[in-house]
Chain A
Amino acid sequence: MQAAIKKPRRSTLFWMQLAFTLTVCAFLIVPVLMSMTAGVTLNYMTGVSGGITTQWVEKVLTDYRGPILLSLQLATACLACTLLLGIPAAYVLAKRQNAFTRAIEELLVMPVAVPGIATALALIVTYGSSGSFRTSWLFILVGHVLFTLPFMVRSVLAVMSSIDLKTLEEGARSLGANFTQRFFGIILPNCSSGIIAGSLMVVTLSLGEFNMTLLLHTPLTQTLPVGLADTYASLRLEVGSAYTLVFFIIIVPLLIAMQWASNAISQRKRT
């Protein structure tokens, strides 16, 4: 018998699905690419053929150096705060499972559920009158920590609940390890995937946070996204687009680096 190797015929449905998927992708990706290319064109209306320039990017880097650096500073400080607050919080929530800790766990999500503007207003109403705090970058940091903390707690807690934390700790205790030894030697290393995932969320959310920051900032404490809104609202579109480009240049390598770190950790576990 002859084995007839027939190429499987793609059905019409397949082509329709492919077309649909590509359309959706294009719908999402094209504006991003357009915006990025607009940032390097001499004139947005004439497009790339009208000439390529780095002048807008340079302008952004000189005029908005402050907001960019402040955003990086905020994200770093926010990460430090959420690590210091979030990991111990997740640890306590994982260890003490009762009605009270479950309530806390739910309440932690409130700043995510409540519109950022509402949180910002609450902060301003409460602390707005203390002048030096109101005008310092720490005021924005408080907002960012409130907003990002649940993401850190949740992702660390998820890992802590998936490993048998209690038995691991009892094992370490039976071998003579005191609290510090087992927290840093056993608990943290075994939660590293959750900590990295949480950090990734916290840094990206803090860098891109706009709603709350719009109300919390002062002219002297402008952040990257607030500056971006500013450029689109008041400057040439090319400058705004160049700004977007800068934002991508900052955030994409950061994301790749953190993804790489979390892969490296899971790789190390497997081999």
Chain B
Amino acid sequence: MNTAGNVSIRLEQCARTYEDGTRALEATDLTIQAGETVVFLGPSGCGKTTTLRLVAGLDEPDEGGKVWFGDEDVTAVPIERRNVGMVFQSYALFPNMSVEENVAYGLRVRKVPFDERSKRVRASLEMMHISDLAKRRIDQLSGGQRQRVALARAIAPRPRVLLLDEPLTALDAKLRESLRVEINRLLRSLGITTVYVTHDQGEAMALGDRIAVMDKGRIAQIGTPEEIYRSPSNAFVADFIGTMNRIFGQVASGLLVFPGGSIPWTGPTPTAGLMFRPEDLKLAVPGSGNFMAQVVTAFFLGDHVRLVLDTGAKDFVIARIFERRNFTKGETLEFTLNPQTLVSLED
């Protein structure tokens, strides 16, 4: 199915202040390329949904802010004339209509002729693998089926932009995973400009061409999933995406010495500490490692073991070990910590 043509989205100095004075979004500039999927990721209240609603046209930015779809200034265009497809966390399906009628609704209000309409409804249902549900009523569907219908309904009118507001949040873990794969496939095959809002970093990683991590009404960092994960630009991003260990040390004769070990170091003491991911700590043959710690707890999680380690520092260190091995409490282990994997954040 081809779309009506993709369009880039540009937010220009978009801020949003609510009537009660709450600043939901600080002045934000953001460009989303045509055909790109950008995920807004952040905790609740970070401004991600506000931003989505500005893009959607459900809300308008404060004075001075502009929203562009390609070369068209859509700031004052309400959602019903923006030609966007939207999927809501609570599905927003119409209970008075069947699945088929729901999917056809966007085409019907646009007065698409009957033949064309039924053809496109069929195609949308097929894309979401729900052709056999066409005649069902909404209250006969499971949560996962409902969200498929919502997706089919959003894409049927061939929108310029697809907007998804926490579409998987209301579903259970297993369903979330399978629908995530499905959405990924859909987005790749449509090649449509997409904005996806979530607080789940797994979803963000899997779906986003780029991720915009948001915090307190600001975009804290925007980049590819790899960039966000490997080189977080500040402590908030580092903490929000996965787990980060932080160590503090002192420079002494070419070494940075910290509780548990040392690494070669040139330059001044990193006062904000150094961070590394749990998987960057590798078990070492005794005598060959550069990091020592005592096991506090070991959680067996199937494919890996999550170790909580005590180095004598204030905070415990977390390690992810994929080797088949048993760990006992109080055991002292030796690790290799590659200095290349350390992230320095001066904030």
Contacts and interface: CB of A to CB of B under 8 A. Distances in A.
Interface in B47-92: 56, 58, 78-81, 83-86, 88, 90, 92
A173 interface: yes
B173 interface: no
Interface stretch (B93-101, B231-239, B250-258): B93-101
Given A173-B58, A174-B86, A177-B105, A164 B81 contact: no
Classify chain B: how many residues form its interface, as a range. Answer: 20 to 34
Contacts of B56: 174
13 contacts: A164-B92, A171-B88, A174-B58, A174-B79, A175-B157, A176-B81, A177-B105, A185-B109, A186-B94, A190-B94, A190-B95, A190-B96, A271-B137
Which 7 residue pairs spanning A and B have beta carbons closest together? A171-B92, A175-B106, A174-B86, A189-B96, A167-B92, A177-B109, A173-B80
Given A167-B88, A170-B86, A171-B86, A176 B80 contact: yes
Contacts of B88: 167, 170-171
Interface in A244-271: 269-271
A174 B90 contact: no
Interface of B: 56, 58, 78-81, 83-86, 88, 90, 92-96, 105-106, 109-110, 137, 139, 153-154, 157, 163
Given A170-B88, A171-B88, A271-B137, A176 B94 contact: no
Contacts of A170: 58, 79, 86, 88, 92
Interface in A160-183: 163-164, 167-168, 170-178, 181
A172 B94 contact: yes
A176 B139 contact: no
Interface of A: 163-164, 167-168, 170-178, 181, 185-186, 189-190, 192, 269-271
Given A175-B109, A177-B105, A181-B109, A270 B139 contact: yes
Contacts of B109: 172, 175-178, 181, 185
